[in-house]
Chain A
């Protein structure tokens, strides 16, 4: 969990090699099909298939274990919350199908269908979006934004923030270690007292980082940042036929799955 390149995890997978713009369009496709399923079709099997496709995209790009743990935990949590809240939010009829022992929650077939479809509606797009960040260099994302005519100074803020993410994490860990050696136990005590202890972490961090803001600003000036209205990119993003093909393939896959499942596996 060093985040050496921000969220980017270097690699040579299929997703690493496609244009970031194609990945963004892919994520929007996932979002569109998920919305359609989550609101109109409500087929958990189809939702599960989209979910599986984004999971395959994530796993094929070989992220660090941090991401596996994160999305593993998140998938369980969202399924749980969805099952807990959706049936209670919308009163539904249907055949009673499932009773959770001990807790006594009753689920009809409709309630289950709704809860599962909604859970996949939440999960698939966020994993797709995470995959973009995991497989794209911050610099390439910056270029994609600039090519889409975002003002480049503003587009640069999140990119620069991603660059300094590992620096901040290292700084915080250093400070936490230093405070621990002075017997500041961050993991003990009630929640308010634990929060209060974080002041001892954040004050030195902030003072150091704010001084750095000045240095960073001067460094950006020294590098001529913002000197020209437009800038070149020495490694230019090129949209290749390969990117188009991948997009068509995914869209076709989602469409065909939709037709097949609603026709033959209607629940």
Chain B
């Protein structure tokens, strides 16, 4: 995004928000449809899952594969201490001192504990939740950077354990949730949420791209390790992927920007914001 007139972001933000919310509503209708057991007659034509499947498994396996490979590469690179900055790979120093450990652990506890304590929104017991705590994921990413993303990854493991599906598939959820925080952290140029451009960036990267990437990442992994995780491809691509995508989009679109807006100043004041805790080593 170049230096365009700031005025353009306001209508753009509104449009992206409307798209996100529309997708969210479409998605909720789908789940109502599926949980209403109309599957046997074939998925209803207007449903989200049907739209997914109409493109074919092949399409999703290729697209998901690209997201998966890029996502995994980014994850490994970041934890090995490298990052992309201004189009170049540079070294970054995250101290992983006590404060970073504390941030990651508390993010994980809030994410995991939040999912349990707010589990009043279970759609189908035991398996599918609207997860209100998911609203926190892009927010944690843009506030705390890599320690926040690592916290999200571990928090998802705890949430999986408390939801009863901690297994081999959780490895995908681990990195998928890392990415959910990582995308807005890395791609939002203005994380303050105090300009219409910043809000637009939040919707674009934090809500749309983040949700899509995370869900395709996990789905592709589940599909890859099908023999181990034991979930049918029809379920993975026709139900799970759209569900995760829509759940993340709904909860982050509705409240994400407000949360990030409120939390930015105190986090900055206490010196916990990632920009105060990280140094980049750029070779000149």
Contact = CB atoms under 8 A, between A and B. Distances in A.
Direct contact of A and B (CB under 8 A): yes
Interface of A: 1, 3, 7, 31, 34-35, 38-39, 70-71, 73-74, 76-78, 81-82, 84-86, 88-90, 103-105, 118-119, 121-122, 125-126, 129-130, 133, 153-154, 156-158, 160-169, 172-173, 176, 186-187, 191-192, 194-196, 198-199, 201-203, 205-207, 209-214, 216-218, 220-221, 225-226
B125 A173 contact: no
20 contacts: A7-B158, A38-B230, A88-B234, A122-B230, A126-B166, A130-B164, A130-B166, A133-B166, A157-B154, A161-B112, A164-B113, A165-B116, A168-B117, A172-B117, A186-B120, A195-B130, A202-B136, A206-B263, A209-B110, A210-B272
Contacts of A207: 262-263, 266
B229 interface: yes
Contacts of B227: 35, 38-39
Given A39-B227, A81-B235, A191-B28, A74 B101 contact: no
Given A77-B125, A78-B127, A195 B164 contact: no
A210 B102 contact: no
B254 A195 contact: yes
Interface string B265-278: 01100111000000
B232 A86 contact: yes
Interface of B: 24, 28, 37, 39-40, 96-106, 108-110, 112-114, 116-118, 120-121, 124-127, 130, 132-133, 135-136, 150-151, 154-155, 157-158, 161-168, 227-235, 239, 250-251, 254-255, 258-259, 262-263, 266-267, 270-272
Contacts of B166: 126, 129-130, 133
Contact of A125 (B106, B167, B259, B263): B167
Contact of B110 (A122, A192, A206): A206
A74 B258 CA distance: 34
Contacts of A39: 227
Contact of A213 (B37, B99, B118, B132): B99
B136 A89 contact: no
Given A105-B40, A158-B154, A199 B258 contact: yes
- Most B CB atoms within 10 A — which of A169, A176, A213, A225? A213
Contact of A199 (B106, B228, B233, B259): B259
Contacts of B39: 84, 88
Given A81-B127, A158-B154, A165-B113, A195 B105 contact: no
A161 B96 contact: no
A103 B114 CA distance: 37
Contacts of B167: 31, 122, 125-126, 129
A89 B234 CA distance: 5
Contacts of A70: 126, 162-164
Contacts of A81: 127, 235
Contacts of A103: 37, 40
A226 B108 CA distance: 20
A89 B113 contact: no
Contacts of A1: 116
A154 to B, nearest CB: 7
Contacts of B101: 153, 156-157, 160, 217, 220, 225-226
A35 B234 contact: no
B48 to A, nearest CB: 15
Contacts of A167: 109, 113
B3 to A, nearest CB: 33
Contacts of B165: 74, 126
B158 A158 contact: yes
A154 B272 CA distance: 19
B106 A218 contact: no
A210 B266 contact: yes
A173 B119 CA distance: 12
B99 A217 contact: yes
Contact of A153 (B37, B96, B126, B133): B96
B112 A165 contact: yes
Given A168-B112, A214-B99, A226-B101, 9 more contacts: A74-B127, A84-B39, A89-B234, A122-B231, A161-B106, A165-B112, A203-B263, A206-B263, A209-B109
A195 B98 contact: no
A204 to B, nearest CB: 10
Contact of A172 (B114, B154, B162, B231): B114
Contacts of A220: 98, 101-102
B157 A118 contact: no
B19 to A, nearest CB: 16
